[in-house]
Structure 1
Amino acid sequence: MKHQIPDEIISTAELIPLIGNPAKLSAGERIELWAKALERHGGPLSALRRLEHLSSDELRAYRGGNTPLTVAFSDPVLRAHGLKGDSLGDAMDFFALSDRDAHWLLCDCHHVGTMTGAGLAKRLRHHARWSERRARWSGAVMRFFGLAR
């Protein structure tokens, strides 16, 4: 057995594709995977700039270097579960984010100072918890009024 440092192992590893389809993850589980990838990233990230001034098409096509989007797309687990690219539209679809959610979570106007992976991970987890609570509350109200599907 040859002793290797982790970087050597990673650079020479043979990637084996997943057999079959990975289990379907909820939006909250996908966001948790993103948060973990951001925590592993370490160092500053570039916040997305001036999202509130973009048209819907420009918003969905938005890309940038060293952003939370590139961190997500560079994670092989997220790609294996269906993340298609590093555009904001790809992330919004995969993580079930609205335009408003994307702006609140990722835009530079909501980040004072430097955006960090750990800081954004905390923000993403908070968003996921509130989204889950809102969905449960909404479902309960709909059932109460007999409007549930």
Structure 2
Amino acid sequence: MKHESLAEIRQVADIFSLGRDVPRLSHRERLERWAAVLDQHEGQVVPLVRIEDYAPRERDNLRGDKTPLSVAFSDPILRADGLLSDRLGDAVGFFGLGHAEAHRLLCDCHYRGTMTAPKVAARLRAIARGGIMQRIWDWTTRRVAAG
């Protein structure tokens, strides 16, 4: 790892301070910020593979380049607000997602080769709104999980 001074970094990057008095983002603002970052993302996004096949500890450590998680972690505002990494477990905690929501949002079995940043952003906005369809989905997944 190459260490550079702040002056050296300023030559190649836009650096800004959020200051100490910046209020933390709400749950909904975090999700909407992630959606907005995905909308601005011009590259490919790829899903995580077979999330449901991993034990909880392994699942929490899942990450990948070009995933919606790495796009979120590239945003300085989300990092400044407390997003610790692009690992699934950190994102689930930071964005307040349930594991079923994270699975629906990020797993390859829900896209089958069709994941795009706008599709993920739309799903994030639906979660943020917490509309009737989201409540039905949450209720259904809880019932299925309960057996």
Q: Amino acid of the residue matched to residue 56 of structure 1? A: P
The corresponding residue for 2:117 is: 117
Residue 40 (str. 1) matches residue 35 (str. 2): no
Relative to structure 1, is the Cα distance of residues 14 and 49 closer, same or farther in structure 2, using a 3 angstrom cutoff? Answer: closer
8 Å contact kept, 1:45–1:114: no
The corresponding residue for 2:51 is: 51
SS at match of 1:46: coil
8 Å contact kept, 2:126–2:134: no
Structure 2: runs of 5 or more not aligned: 1-9, 136-147
Q: Amino acid of the residue matched to residue 73 of structure 2? A: F
User: How many matched pairs?
Assistant: 126
Q: How does 1:1-149 map to 2 (within 5 A)?
A: 12-13=12-13, 15-130=15-130
Relative to structure 1, is the Cα distance of residues 111 and 20 closer, same or farther in structure 2, using a 3 angstrom cutoff? Answer: same
Q: 1: distance between equivalents of 2:88 and 2:35? A: 16
SS at match of 2:70: helix
Q: 1: distance between equivalents of 2:71 and 2:86? A: 8
Q: TM-score, normalization: structure 1?
A: 0.76
The corresponding residue for 2:3 is: none
Q: 1: distance between equivalents of 2:57 and 2:21? A: 30
CA drift at 1:116 = 0.9
Q: Amino acid of the residue matched to residue 125 of structure 1? A: R
CA drift at 1:16 = 3.7
The two structures, once aligned, show a CA RMSD in angstroms of 2.2
Q: Percent identity among equivalent residues?
A: 46
8 Å contact kept, 2:83–2:90: yes
8 Å contact kept, 1:28–1:132: no
Q: TM-score, normalization: structure 2?
A: 0.77
